[in-house]
Structure 1
Amino acid sequence: MSEPPGLGTRLRHLLELLDGDVAQVYVELGLDGFRPRFTPVVRTLVAQGPLPIRDLAKAVSVTHSAASQTVTQMEKYGLVTLEPGADARQRIVQLTDKSRALLPKLDAEWAATTAAAEEFEAELPYSLSELLAEATHVLERRSFRERIADAARALEK
Structure 2
Amino acid sequence: MDHKSADHFLGTRLRHLLDLLEGDVARVYTDLGLPGFRSRYTPVISLVNTGGPQSIRDLAATIGVTHSAVSQTVSQMRRDGLVELEPGDDARQRIVHLTDHALAILPILDAEWQATTAATRDLDAELPYPLTDLVDAALRALGERPLRDRIHDRM
Same fold per superposition (TM over 0.5): yes
Deviates more, 1:22-31 or 1:57-66: 57-66
Structure 1 runs, 4 residues or longer, greater than 3 Å off = none
Q: What is the distance in 2 between the residues matched to 1:64 and 1:149?
A: 28
Q: Unaligned 5+ residue runs, structure 1? A: 153-157
Residue in structure 2 matching 1:127, options 95, 113, 130:
130
CA deviations on 1:30-63 (whole Å, 9 max, x unpaired) are 0112111111111111121111101111111211
Residue in structure 2 matching 1:117, options 117, 120, 134:
120
TM-score, structure 1 as length reference: 0.91
Q: What is the distance in 2 between the residues matched to 1:145 and 1:55?
A: 28
Q: What is the distance in 1 between the residues matched to 2:92 and 2:148?
A: 30
Q: What is the distance in 2 between the residues matched to 1:86 and 1:132?
A: 36
Q: What's the offset of the Cα at 1:2?
A: 4.7
1:141 aligns with 2:144: yes
Counterpart of 2:152, as a letter, is A
Which residue in 2 is equivalent to 1:82? 85
Deviates more, 1:143-152 or 1:45-54: 143-152
1:28 aligns with 2:45: no
The share of aligned pairs that are identical, in percent, is 59
1:54 aligns with 2:69: no
The SS at the match of 1:62 is coil
Deviates more, 1:5-14 or 1:130-139: 5-14
Q: What is the distance in 2 between the residues matched to 1:24 and 1:83?
A: 32
1:10 aligns with 2:37: no
**How many pairs align?**
152
Q: What is the distance in 2 between the residues matched to 1:2 and 1:129?
A: 29
